[in-house]
Amino acid sequence: MELSHKANGSYTEVLASGRLNMVSAPNLRTYVDEVVATGASRIVVNLAQTTFMDSSGLGALIGCLKAARQAGGDLRIAAVQPQVKMVLELTSMDRVLTSYASAQEAFGNE
């Protein structure tokens, strides 16, 4: 999985490319923790190029959500692909991790 981020005004967008599985999940968690440590607490994880997610990846996203909220912010996900959406729905985590069509929409009205 390739990870990068960019500041977009009031939020920071984390771009995740590849497979979010037990191999890459710890990397995502560490990466988002480092972004939060820089002072960014409003995070959007852009999953447009994430083709697969397993339970480890889901756990990493929940951990990232917790880190952002502990820093006084929030974490949202954007551009969710069909397989990732299916995992979120099957686990009912789509109620916790709000998905948006794009990173701009995630914090666009705030």
pLDDT tens string, the chain, 110 residues long: the values are: 999 999 988 899 999 999 999 999 999 999 999 999 999 999 999 999 999 999 999 999 999 999 999 999 999 999 999 999 999 999 999 999 989 999 899 887 65
DSSP structure string for 56-69: HHHHHHHHHHHHHH
Predicted TM-score (pTM) of the model is 0.93
User: 8 forms bridges with which residues in the sheet?
Assistant: 11
Gap between the Cα atoms of 73 and 76, Å rounded = 10
State whether residue 93 is helix, strand or coil.
Answer: helix
Cβ-proximal residues to 56 (8 Å cutoff; 6+ apart), any chain: 20, 21, 22, 25
∠43-91-33 over CA atoms, to 5°? 25
38 phi and psi angles, rounded to 5 deg = -80, -5
40 phi and psi angles, rounded to 5 deg = -85, 120
Q: Assign domain 2-102 one CATH number from 3.40.630.10, 3.30.470.10, 3.30.750.24, 3.20.20.120.
A: 3.30.750.24
Domains of the chain: which residue ranges? 2-102
